[in-house]
């Protein structure tokens, strides 16, 4: 078995799009990889801590923070 994990970040124009646009973007990504022989497994949320940036001599310093990313999991081969 072979796995592939692909980041997924949907974009939405709040003025004229609904969550249907997000669903369509995810569907298109799944179709793209399905056409390459991959089978969709699931959408996973992965959290990570982004280290603080001390800046130069403290100027422009940025605090650390938690970030969450969506990952699409595919499999190829026997399940």
User: Are 78 and 8 in contact, with CB atoms under 8 Å apart?
Assistant: no
Asked if the model's pLDDT at residue 31 lies above 70, the reply is yes
Helix (H) or strand (E) holding 26: helix 19-34
Asked if the model's pLDDT at residue 46 lies above 90, the reply is yes
Tokens linked to 8: 């997924």
Q: How many CA atoms lie within 13 A of 46 on its CB side?
A: 15
What's the whole-number mean pLDDT along residues 50-55?
A: 88
pTM above 0.85, yes or no: no
Taking the C-alpha atoms of residue 16 and residue 50, their distance in angstroms, rounded to an integer, is 33
Asked if the model's pLDDT at residue 79 lies above 70, the reply is no
User: Are 45 and 68 in contact, with CB atoms under 8 Å apart?
Assistant: yes
């Amino acid at each position: 078995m072979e796995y592939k994990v692909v980041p997924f970040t949907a974009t939405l124009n709040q003025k004229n799009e609904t969550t249907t646009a997000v669903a369509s973007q995810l569907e298109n990504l799944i179709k793209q990889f399905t056409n390459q022989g991959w089978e969709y497994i699931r959408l996973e949320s992965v959290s990570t801590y982004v280290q603080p940036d001390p800046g130069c001599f403290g100027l422009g310093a940025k605090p650390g923070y938690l970030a969450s990313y969506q990952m699409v999991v595919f499999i190829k081969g026997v399940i």
